[in-house]
Amino acid sequence: MDYRAPTQDIGFVFRELAGLDEVLALPGFEEVNGELVDAVLEENARFVEQAVAPLNRAGDTKPATWDQGRVHTTPGFQEAFREFAAGGWQGLQHEPRWGGQGLPKLVAAATGENINSANLAFSLCPLLTDGVIEALAMVGSQAQQDLYIPPMLEGRWTGTMNLTEPQAGSDLALVKTRAVKQDDGSYRLSGQKIFITYGEHDLAENIVHLVLARTPEAPAGVKGISLFIVPKFLVNDDGTLGKRNDVWCASLEHKLGIHGSPTAVLMYGSGQGDAGPGAVGYLVGEENRGLEYMFIMMNAARFAVGIQGVALAERALQQAGAYAAERLQGRALEGSDGPVAIVHHPDVQRMLMTMRALTEGARALAYSAAAECDRARHDPDPQARARHQAVYDFLVPVVKGFSTESAVEVASLGIQVHGGMGFIEETGAAQYYRDARILPIYEGTTAIQANDFLGRKTLRDAGAVAGALAEQMRATIAQLEAQQADAGEHGAGLALIARRLTAAVAAYEQAVGFIVAHAREDQRAVFLGSVPYLMLAGVTLAGWQMARAALVCAGRPQGGDAEPFRARKLATAVFYAAHVLPRAQALSASIMEGGVAARYARAAENAE
C-alpha cells in the first residue's frame, strides 16, 4: 500500500489547535509565513512518498549488514539519504548561523512525522543527528559548534549518542567507559557501548559520537560522568577529515523490528583505526556534568520518539483502512446480496475508529507541545517564556509515553483488522507492530517517562502546571456546553464530548491531588501508579485537543473539500469521547487504590 502524508490533518492541527499563526508572529520567524509552511509540507510529502516510503519494506527484509567492522545499509538508503541532505531537511529547525533554516519546531514536528511514517528505520539516523546538533548548540564550545554542526546540517556527517553499556542500561551510574586526559587537552577513551543506533553506516562520510565516560578521578555514580565528542574520523582545524579514530563496530544487533536501522555494538580503544590506541575524544563543557548535558539530547530525542509513535500509528492506520475497504468478507448486518467490504462491519469500524482517534489525538497533543516549545524559545516576555517552557517540559514525557504506547495498540489493532492475513508478513501489517514495539522502550521506557512525569514534572511544583492545564480544559468544556444549542444536528455530539471530558478532567484532577497529597508519606504507593498517571494524562489531554477540534468542525461551514474532512474529524472526536476518554476514570481508580495495591504487590514479592 502506498503511503500518503496526512497533510490535510496536519494543516488543520497547525492552524486550529497549535496556533501556527501566533507562532509565526514570534520574534525570529519574520521570514516565515503560512505560504512558505504550506510549500515546505507539500515538498516534504513529495519527498517522503516518492523517495523514502518505497524503501520501508526493503529495510525490513534486507537489513543492514556487518562486514569486518563496516556496515552496509539497505540498498536504496544511500540515494534517499543524499536526497534528504540535498533537500536541507536536517537543518529545518536549526539556526541559520550554522546553515539551518530556522523554521519552528512545530513545522519540524510534522515533517519529522512524515519521514518516520514513510520509513521508521531510515528516519532514525536524522533523529539522532538532530539531538547531537541540539546538544552541541546548547553546551558545546564555539569552536565545537563551528566545526561539527555545519557538516551535520548539510548531511555530510551524522550523529549518535552513546549511553548504554552491557551492565548500564537505564542506570547510567554504572557506566564504566574510561576517558584519560592527554597533554594536548584531548582524551583517550576505552570501553564498550551497546544499542547505538546508526553507530556505523555508509550514509555519510563521518559520524559524530557523543559518549558518556568517566575520568580516572571522577566521583562514583552519575555525578562522575562526563560527555565527549568522539568522531569516527578525526577532524582537522579546517574541517577536513583526518585519521580513522579508534572506535570500531564489533557487531550489529538482531532485532524484533526496525531492521533497516543498524544498531551497533561499538568498541572504544580496541586498537583499531590509525590514530593510535584509545579513541580520541574532546570534552564537552565541564568534567562530571555529562549526564546533565546528555539530558538535553535525550529530551529532544524523547519528543522525537513521541512523534515516531504518531507516525507509526498513522502508517498502520492507512494500511488497515485500505485493506478493510478492499477485503470482501461476510454479509452486511442489515442483510446484503453478497459479501461486503469488511469496513462495513461494526467491529471493524470500531477498530478503525479507535486507531484513527488515538492517532489524531496523539498528533494534536504532540504538535501543541511543539508550539509550546517555540513560544518558550521566542516569546519576547521572559515570564511568558518560563510558563511555556514549564508546559513543554510537562508535556514531553506524556507525548513520548502516550504516543508510543498508543502506536503499539494501533499497530496491534491493524493486524486484527487484517484477520489472519495480518499475521502473514507479506501483507506488511506485522512490520508496523514489530517496529512499534521498540518505541515505548528506547530513549527511556514508559516507566522512566512516568517516573519523571510524576516526580519532576508534577511533584516539583506541587501540581501547578497540571492544575493550569485542567483550568484550560474546563474552559473548553464550557465552550462545548455553550455551543450545543446552536450546533443543530451536532448538538448531541458536543454534549457527549462535554460530558465525557468533564468526567475525564475530574479523574485527572483527582489523580493529581492524590499524588501531591501522598507522595511523601507513601512513596511506593504513589509510584506504583506512575504509568497509569502518565496514560491518564495522555488520554485526557489528547481528548481535550479532540474536543477543541470538534468545536471547530461543528461551527462555521467551510464548503468544498473541507466539509468531508471536517465531518470525519467531528465523528472521530465524538468517538474518542465515547470510547477512549472513559479510560481516564479506570486509570484514576487504579492510582487511587495504590496504597492497598502496593502492600499486596510487596507481599507477593516477599512470598516468592
Catalytic residues: 443
Question: Which residue bears the cell 514534572?
Answer: 457
Q: Can you tell me the distance from the alpha carbon of 598 to that of 581, in angstroms, rounded to the nearest whole number?
A: 26
Question: Which residue bears the cell 580513522?
Answer: 244
Output the CA–CA distances (angstroms, integers) from residue 518 to 211, 512, 556, in the order listed: 39, 10, 46
Positive or negative: CA dihedral 389, 147, 201, 170: negative
- What grid cell was written down for 218? 571522577
Judge contact between 181 and 215, C-beta under 8 A.
yes
Instruction: Measure the CA dihedral 256/262/267/273, to 10°.
Output: 160
Q: Name residues whose C-beta falls within 8 Å of residue 92's C-beta, 6 or more positions apart in sequence.
A: 40, 100, 101, 103, 107, 108, 111
Q: Can you tell me the distance from the alpha carbon of 513 to that of 492, in angstroms, rounded to the nearest whole number?
A: 32
Output the CA–CA distances (angstroms, integers) from residue 485 to 493, 497, 502, in the order listed: 11, 14, 18
- What grid cell was written down for 579? 470510547
Instruction: Indicate left, alpha or beta for 440 from its phi (over 0: left) and psi (-120 to 50: alpha).
Output: alpha
The angle subtended at Cα 308 by Cα 313 and Cα 553, nearest 5°, is 55
Three-state DSSP state, 102: coil
Q: What are phi and psi of 107, to 5 degrees?
A: -70, -40
Judge contact between 179 and 226, C-beta under 8 A.
yes
Catalogue the E-assigned strands of 35-186: 65-67, 70-72, 157-162, 178-181
Task: Give the other-Cβ count within 10 Å of 55's Cβ.
Answer: 22
Q: Can you tell me the distance from the alpha carbon of 465 to that of 461, in angstroms, rounded to the nearest whole number?
A: 7
Task: Give the other-Cβ count within 10 Å of 474's Cβ.
Answer: 16
Task: Give the other-Cβ count within 10 Å of 341's Cβ.
Answer: 16
Neighbour-count burial of 419, counting CB atoms closer than 10 A to its CB (0-12 exposed, 13-18 middle, 19+ buried): middle
- What grid cell was written down for 389? 517552557
Instruction: Measure the CA dihedral 146/151/154/158, to 10°.
Output: -130
**Residue among 127, 157, 135, 296 nearest 231 (CA):** 157
Q: Can you tell me the distance from the alpha carbon of 468 to that of 462, in angstroms, rounded to the nearest whole number?
A: 12
Question: Which residue bears the cell 462555521?
Answer: 556
